[in-house]
Amino acid sequence: MREFERHSDNPEAGEELVAALEERGDLILSPLVELAFTPLVVMRQHSVGHGGFHTGAMGRGSARLRWVYDCGASRTEGQQRLSEEIGILAGEPGDAKRRIDLLFISHFDRDHISGIVQLMSALEVDTVVIPYLDDLQRAIILAGEIADREEAGASVAPGLTQALFDPVAWLTEFGAKSVIQVRPGGPGFDGAMLLSYGPGDGPELSEDVEGAKPVLVRQSDDAVNAADDHSVVDSGSGWMVTHFGRRFGDWCFLPYVTSAKQSARDAFRAAFDGLIERREDESMIAAFHRKMEETDFPTKVKATYKEHELGDANAVSMSLYVGPFRDEVYFSRKPLRAGQKRHEAGPGWLLTGDAKLAQVGRRNDWCTFYKPLKSRIGALMLPHHGSHLNFHEDILDIVEEDCLLFACRRAKLGDPLHENVWTVVERRPVAIVSDDRETSLMQVSGATVLKYAERELSDLAKEWC
């Protein structure tokens, strides 16, 4: 152990030592050895009010890995805060562009994507991960946005209509090198695949990997995905993080997509087929784009949407677990800061976007998927900004009693949470992330044995936060 402490500030020397010991047959990446290479991690839920902006970075030596989950806000104050936070991440003018390795978009509602263009213009984005949206689902999302904006006396942003017409082309236009679409989960899906890897296990890389890199492991066949491939994968596929060809601290990203019931999709199609007057071989989303040129079309959409109560048709949202996939002992439990409060939490976060988990079948499938990660989840985002319409107490069964529950909401909503939610969660640690800077959440974790961990953590935090 003393020898690894001596090399902990020099990853290259440590790698050479591990290789020499393996060749000699003394060890095969035992837990003791992996401790020396466990990276430092900083994760933050930014205070942008009713929206979402989660960022994270991990580092060891010169290696860096950065990710983002959602980037949007709904109100002027929140959008201003979001713009400021993106500017901080981008660094000083004239600096080399920083890179985001993974950008996850939970769904395409305005309050979750309004800052995507600014983000992708200010930083280089390698891979974007989105829910798989067929033609009908993209039309459903657009109709819901039209109805909401018409209710508010506003129009739909042109960028959103372009994004929904062809999400892959839109993201590629703004510099994404790869766009991965995740199909909805369902009965029989669980998140245990990555948990099955033991010390030294993992997918074989087809080429040398320099630095820290996320590697996609498919649910279907454990195949490693090419970096520039625009693929569609199943829920249960996930990203393992490697470091110079080795696994990097057992860290993973595990998405799961909830979807609308087929009956809700059929009801939407029946309600709108006549209104949009589709032409032969015309897709539904293309028909919406054509009809939006008519001045009275938004009013008709709002009326139809509300008359048929079609809100549940727009139920696609991608949740994301970010954290260790094997044994959380490699990451120390560090304080999670909520404003001026501190809470001891585990290293993993479960982010839920606008998942509609009140519906029993959808909720049961979601809980089954994430329950194997229970001991690793230290922070759980309450779905849909803590809305009581999308909450059920059963979702708390997949986390420990000391897990921090948080919701991203406007400070002006009045009571922090609806009484139907509050009566269930009031005995647990709860935080509200509003558009007040003091309400942002930040957590750090990493191996406690690293001799110069404080210095490296300071560098990582200054660079990314």
pLDDT digits (tens, 9 = 90+) for 227-267: 445 689 888 888 888 655 555 556 889 999 999 889 999 99
How large is the average pLDDT for residues 19-29? 40
pLDDT of 225 above 60: no
How large is the average pLDDT for residues 378-384? 92
pLDDT of 82 above 90: yes
pLDDT of 445 above 80: no
- Dist. CA 187–CA 189, nearest whole Å: 6
Spatial CA neighbour of 117 closest among 71, 57, 81, 149: 71
| Domain residue spans of the chain | 1-36, 37-132+183-260+314-464
- C-alpha 109 chain-centroid distance: 14
Confidence band, pLDDT 50/70/90 cuts, at residue 446: low
pLDDT of residue 334: 54
How large is the average pLDDT for residues 280-305? 92
pLDDT of residue 8: 36
Q: H or E stretch including 329?
A: none
- Dist. CA 39–CA 22, nearest whole Å: 21
The angle at the Cα of 130, spanning 52 to 53, to the nearest 5 degrees, equals 15
Spatial CA neighbour of 358 closest among 322, 394, 412: 394
User: Burial letters for 360-389: b for 16+ Cβ neighbours within 10 Å, e otherwise?
Assistant: eebbebbbbbbebbeebbbbbbbbbbbbbe
- Dist. CA 144–CA 243, nearest whole Å: 43
Instruction: Give the rounded percent of residues in the chain with a pLDDT score beyond 70.
Output: 71
pLDDT of residue 101: 93
pLDDT of residue 112: 93
pLDDT of 113 above 90: yes
- Dist. CA 400–CA 407, nearest whole Å: 17
pLDDT of 100 above 90: yes
Task: Name every residue whose Cβ is closer than 8 Å to that of residue 95 and which is 6 or more positions away in sequence.
Answer: none
Sign of the alpha-carbon torsion through 278, 279, 280, 282: negative
pLDDT of 119 above 90: yes
pLDDT of 226 above 60: no
Provide the CATH topology of domain 37-132+183-260+314-464. Answer: Metallo-beta-lactamase; Chain A (3.60.15)
Task: Name every residue whose Cβ is closer than 8 Å to that of residue 327 and which is 6 or more positions away in sequence.
Answer: 31, 250
pLDDT of residue 416: 66
Confidence band, pLDDT 50/70/90 cuts, at residue 336: low
pLDDT tens digits along 427-436: 888 888 888 8
pLDDT of residue 78: 87
pLDDT of residue 242: 67
Q: Out of 8-12, 253-257, 319-323, pick the least confident.
A: 8-12
- Dist. CA 198–CA 420, nearest whole Å: 42
How large is the average pLDDT for residues 43-57? 91
Cβ–Cβ < 8 Å for 385, 407? yes
Top-confidence residue, 452 or 319: 319
